[in-house]
Structure 1
Amino acid sequence: MLVPEIDRGPPVWFRNDHFASASNRNDPRQFPVTTETPPETSAGRGRSDTTFIVGAVSIAHFLSHVYLLAYPPLFPLIGAEFGLTTTQLGLLVTAIYVPTLVLQLPLGELVDRIGAKRILVTGLVVTSLGVSLSGTAPTYWTLLAFALLSGIGQSVFHPADYAFLESVTDAANQGTAFGMHTFGGFAGFAAAPVVTGTIGIQFGWRVALPTVGVLGFVYAAALLVLAAPVYKRQIDARESSVTADTDVTDEDGTATLRATVAGLLRPALLFVFAFYFVSMMAIVALQSFTTVFAVDLGFSDSAANTVLTAYLVGSAVGVLAGGPLADRLPFQWVIVAAFGLAAVGIWYSVATAATASLLALVAIFGLVGLLMGIALPARDTLANSFSDAGSTGKSFGFFFTGLSLGAVISPTLLGALIDARSVFTAFVAVGGLLIVAASIVVALGLRARAKRG
């Protein structure tokens, strides 16, 4: 007797529902995507509201990344005026990132308490203010202080952005929304050198920074007004529900603080923190040292920048493709497959370095960038599956603290490895970091399976 084959889907431990915690088991984001149209949630998510919020938040993310790279294209001009060393110029970038290590988690908690819109608008104003005031800096130390101020504003974007996105998406479209948001950031990185560099060359760096900075003020005002109706329909309804479910009567807040810390130190969340930390070390290393890799092979600076451009363009395309993949496939498999193949590509570039042509190198790093980009929406979908209802800002603040830590440590650590050994040894290590990151995702799945018996 012939028995019809039953499609059992992916291995049971890799299904999305195995990553749900007991507190958010009923969240539709936790379960595999089906072809059925998902029901409307209690927040009343509408297609037009979702499109508006995803677009609005992605533009804010675009501006955030423009401001992250506002200074480097102007380094020759700033350095010449103040007589700065390369190390002193680099500290301007460090000053932007340092506040995110300290502030993302408490700001994420604040997002969960008072809402994402107000925090996002405030952060956009603060980071725009820091960049704008930089054009008036009379000394290097004043400029460094303004860069630090810009970094304080930067600290709000990830907790607020993801809380906004989570409030208007579900399992059917969340990966796509996260992909568009990430693409906005990549577009900002691409636009920053063109915009600030061009204005700086034509009119000077003291004109370029305020000119770019004013864009943030304009958009913050527009977002404050235009997002208000959507905010009332979507976010306020969700926050009211969360507030009713999580009312705390401890007046001094001690119990709330203990509960917050205990919740974030759950083993599963620490695994996700480690995943963000390790994967970001690999991403920043590729962004920072791909040109060094190409130059060490004997290619010119211009050719090396072509290789880096191929990687960045591949990443941007991959992000757009990765969003729908995260919606349609188990996002854990997307991460493991993409990171695993990217590691193979990096190791292949090292193994064939002696005979590699420029065209081959461009193709390899373009493919590596594509794979890295594909993994990013799935990465954020994975993280969101561990965010309890009403705690998206806090959870993403915690996870992106790991990301910021990886971004700060990676250039120094991998740079030291390049100095001590070689750039090829460092890139072998970068491939290893991707395998470690993929292994963390596998470990999360195995742990979830073991807990379910």
Structure 2
Amino acid sequence: MTTSNPLKQPASTTPLRSDASVIGLVGLAHLISHFSQLLLAPLFPWLKDAFNVSYAELGLLMSIFFAVSCAVQALSGFVVDRFGPRPILFAGLGLLGVAALGYSLSTSYWMLAGFAVVGGVGNGVFHPVDYTLLNRKVSAPRLGHAYSVHGITGNLGWALAPAMMAPLALAFSWRVALASAAGLAFVVLLVLWLNREKLHLAVVPAGVAAHRPGQAAASEGSLAFLKIPAVWMCFTFFFFYAMALSVVQAFAPEAARQLHDVPMTLVAVCLSLFMLASAGGMVLGGFLAADPSRCERIVGVGFGIAASIALVLGLASLPAWGVPVLFAVMGFAAGIAGPSRDLLVKRSTPENASGRVYGVVYAGLDIGQAVSPLIFGRLMDQQHYTGVWLGLALVQGVLIASAFNVRRVRRVALPAAA
């Protein structure tokens, strides 16, 4: 009698429609996750007046959101492995909707802070859920494209938030804008619930051993995966990745304006061009990632180009029109590395610890986003604008070294387990 293996990677004969359905549904949920991260920031001018608070106090709401998300992300992986990703995904989307609705009904700053905690809990489940679904339900030859779509939908979520929140606040009110965001989250939850069978995934028994060389330790206990050196190298990589992204999102456009006398009209489009070009780079990166063995080289080339552009923006004398162009090129180069970046984790993850590994590794994103403003915000306050760009280039260089170090420690682990 033949016994099915619950850990077996989907075969390449999996119908395209089946893979596309899973990729699309997971991507839609990921869009709402990123969308919810930036709900409040575009509304700060309205919230400042409505609650008579400072920008520092409003910024603290974002810190609360990401601090809670970090803690939940590290822990939710265990829950995903225990109960499966689908119910956790539904819970996360529901909490994001509740948080947005709660924001819209808040009558005090502390109510906003309380619902920031709710939003952080909801946001913290997505990476363990998403990558568990993609890695176990999408066929191996299409994983690169799956990671590409996942990254693109995240970027689109970031772009959608200010594009939706500010116009609705101007036309109606900030409360209407946030209530509309809640409605969007609940609509997506309904779409996923109606397609829930496509997201079903059998829970892997805790006693089933990993089927990857050098990773048998992960089956010894729920925390045994923490002994895998490559897991912590991936954590380090994502910590620095989040630092670099945070610099680009928060400080790089203003630093470029100060260095190159860029008009405000052009500064406003720098980040948009970076994000759109990054999404385009992820499309190409999905094809390049079809061969997992070259993922470290792709990451190295992509961030090598991005670091070179950061040095040019920090040290060279440039015309104002050239700055948005370089932002776009830098975004495209970083985007190419995106799918291969996710493959670094995939290749270091035991099948029976997928949620736990992704929860811990991607907690590095939240920590990096929390640490980066403390360092680069100080450089901005001291008007060290060149230092911001040199620091960004340095962080991107560390990303390259981290990617190849993941491969090194993964290879070192193989003979030890033989």
The answer to whether TM tops 0.5 is: yes
- Structure 1 counterpart of 2:385, from 416, 423, 448: 423
For residue 297 of structure 2, what is the aligned residue in structure 1? 333
How far did residue 258 of structure 1 move?
A: 8.5
For residue 442 of structure 1, what is the aligned residue in structure 2? 404
Instruction: Give the distance between the partners of 1:307 and 1:28, measured in 2 at CA.
Output: 40
- Structure 1 counterpart of 2:237, from 252, 259, 275: 275
Q: Which amino acid aligns with 2:67?
A: V
Cα deviation, 1:64-118, whole Å, max 9, x if unaligned, reads 1111111111111111111121101111222221112111121111111111110
CA contact (8 A) 1:280 1:403 kept: yes
Matched, 1:197 2:149: no
Q: Which amino acid aligns with 2:40?
A: Y
For residue 97 of structure 2, what is the aligned residue in structure 1? 128
Q: Which amino acid aligns with 1:416?
A: R
- Structure 2 counterpart of 1:100, from 63, 69, 87: 69
- Structure 2 counterpart of 1:400, from 333, 338, 362: 362
- Structure 2 counterpart of 1:263, from 225, 228, 235: 225
For residue 312 of structure 1, what is the aligned residue in structure 2? 275
For residue 58 of structure 2, what is the aligned residue in structure 1? 89
For residue 37 of structure 2, what is the aligned residue in structure 1? 68
For residue 286 of structure 1, what is the aligned residue in structure 2? 248
Distance change in 2, residues 1:225/1:306 (3 Å): closer
How far did residue 174 of structure 1 move?
A: 0.6
CA contact (8 A) 1:291 1:301 kept: no
CA contact (8 A) 2:267 2:324 kept: no
Instruction: Give the distance between the partners of 1:114 and 1:284, measured in 2 at CA.
Output: 33
Instruction: Give the distance between the partners of 1:190 and 1:168, measured in 2 at CA.
Output: 28
CA contact (8 A) 2:277 2:331 kept: yes
Alignment of 1:82-231 (within 5 A): 82-228=51-197, 230-231=198-199
For residue 376 of structure 2, what is the aligned residue in structure 1? 414
SS at match of 1:358: coil
Tell me the number of residue pairs that the alignment of Structure 1 and Structure 2 aligns. Answer: 402
Distance change in 2, residues 1:449/1:165 (3 Å): closer
For residue 257 of structure 2, what is the aligned residue in structure 1? 295
How far did residue 449 of structure 1 move?
A: 4.3
Instruction: Give the distance between the partners of 1:257 and 1:408, measured in 2 at CA.
Output: 32
Instruction: Give the distance between the partners of 1:263 and 1:390, measured in 2 at CA.
Output: 10
- Structure 2 counterpart of 1:365, from 322, 327, 331: 327
Matched, 1:350 2:314: yes
Instruction: Give the distance between the partners of 2:386 and 2:277, measured in 1 at CA.
Output: 22
How far did residue 307 of structure 1 move?
A: 2.2
CA contact (8 A) 2:255 2:388 kept: no
Instruction: Give the distance between the partners of 1:321 and 1:71, measured in 2 at CA.
Output: 32
For residue 33 of structure 1, what is the aligned residue in structure 2? none
| Larger Rg belongs to | 1
Instruction: Give the distance between the partners of 2:414 and 2:126, measured in 1 at CA.
Output: 35
Query: Percentage identity across aligned positions?
Result: 26
Instruction: Give the distance between the partners of 1:292 and 1:411, measured in 2 at CA.
Output: 14
Distance change in 2, residues 1:52/1:204 (3 Å): same
SS at match of 2:222: helix
Distance change in 2, residues 1:451/1:96 (3 Å): closer
Q: Which amino acid aligns with 1:346?
A: A
Distance change in 2, residues 1:440/1:205 (3 Å): same
Structure 2, unmatched stretches of 5+, are 1-6, 211-217
CA contact (8 A) 1:307 1:361 kept: yes
Instruction: Give the distance between the partners of 1:257 and 1:176, measured in 2 at CA.
Output: 29
Cα deviation, 1:350-398, whole Å, max 9, x if unaligned, reads 221xx31122112211111111111111111111111111221111101
CA contact (8 A) 1:294 1:307 kept: no
CA contact (8 A) 1:117 1:224 kept: no
Instruction: Give the distance between the partners of 1:108 and 1:244, measured in 2 at CA.
Output: 17
CA contact (8 A) 2:266 2:324 kept: no
Q: TM-score, normalised by structure 2?
A: 0.90
Cα deviation, 1:115-137, whole Å, max 9, x if unaligned, reads 11100011000111011111111
Distance change in 2, residues 1:231/1:426 (3 Å): closer
SS at match of 2:321: helix
